[in-house]
């Protein structure tokens, strides 16, 4: 739905999913692409130029995540700003990034926020996990606390 000029007479928007009502065009389209949709249409007439630009700049093959980072670590922030692909050897409990350990470039990840982990958390293994340091994952299940893994 466009948030620029909503359709009469209700002017409540016309989202594809009810959860998208009031959500920006970019976030709604990104979610639809993540669900496997190949294309996205705006139901409300007259989207704004900014909304059209946002849609034009989205890559349906890339899922963008907005996250609240729980650290000031430059290494972690740098790693989180990269684009990743999911490993082909799929894990039961997490979506694992293929490139994260390679992108570490010799930096060290210190332990922080090693609390219990919840579904949807993004974790990165710290120096206590030795050769797995830098392993970046999105959790599919809740997991118990582990001093080797940081929640970012």
Specify which residues 94 forms β-bridges with. 139
Distance between CA atoms of 136 and 85, rounded to whole angstroms? 11
- Residues 34, 86 within the same domain: no
Tell me, yes or no, whether 144 lies in a domain. Answer: yes
Give residue-wise pLDDT tens across range 120-134. 999 999 999 999 999
- Residues 142, 86 within the same domain: yes
My answer on whether omega of the bond before 9 falls inside 30° of 0, hence cis, is: yes
Domain closes at, from 18, 42, 64: 64
pTM for the complete prediction?
Answer: 0.77
For 132, left (φ over 0), alpha (ψ -120 to 50), or beta? alpha
Tell me, yes or no, whether 30 lies in a domain. Answer: yes
| 137 φ, ψ (degrees, to nearest 5) | -145, 150
Which CATH number covers residue 135? Answer: 2.40.100.10
Tell me, yes or no, whether 25 lies in a domain. Answer: yes
Distance between CA atoms of 19 and 35, rounded to whole angstroms? 13
Give residue-wise pLDDT tens across range 73-116. 999 999 999 999 999 999 999 999 999 999 999 999 999 999 99
**Residues 101 and 109 sit within 8 Å (Cβ to Cβ):** no
- Residues 146, 79 within the same domain: yes
Quote the domain boundaries for residue 141.
Answer: 74-151
Specify the number of domains making up the chain.
Answer: 2
| Average pLDDT of the residues in 33-40 | 88
Lowest mean pLDDT among 16-25, 77-86, 102-111, 139-148: 16-25
- Residues 55, 85 within the same domain: no
Tell me, yes or no, whether 69 lies in a domain. Answer: no
* Strands 136-139 and 149-151, bridge-based pairing: unpaired
Percent of the chain topping pLDDT 70:
88
C-alpha distances out from residue 88 to 21, 23, 42, 80, 110, Å:
34, 32, 33, 20, 28
């Amino acid at each position: 739905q466009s948030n620029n000029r909503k359709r009469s007479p209700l002017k409540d928007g016309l989202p594809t999913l009810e959860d998208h009502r009031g959500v920006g065009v970019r976030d709604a389209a990104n979610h639809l692409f993540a669900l496997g949709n190949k294309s996205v249409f705006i139901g409300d007439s007259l989207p704004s130029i900014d909304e059209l630009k946002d849609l034009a700049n989205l890559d349906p093959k890339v899922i963008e995540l907005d996250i609240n980072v729980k650290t000031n670590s430059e290494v972690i922030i740098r790693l989180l700003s990269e684009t990743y692909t999911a490993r082909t050897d799929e894990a039961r409990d997490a979506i694992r990034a293929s490139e994260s350990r390679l992108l570490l470039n010799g930096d060290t990840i210190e332990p922080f926020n090693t609390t219990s982990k919840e579904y949807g958390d993004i974790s990165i293994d710290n120096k206590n996990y030795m050769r797995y340091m830098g392993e970046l994952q999105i959790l599919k299940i809740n997991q118990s606390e582990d001093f080797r893994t940081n929640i970012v």
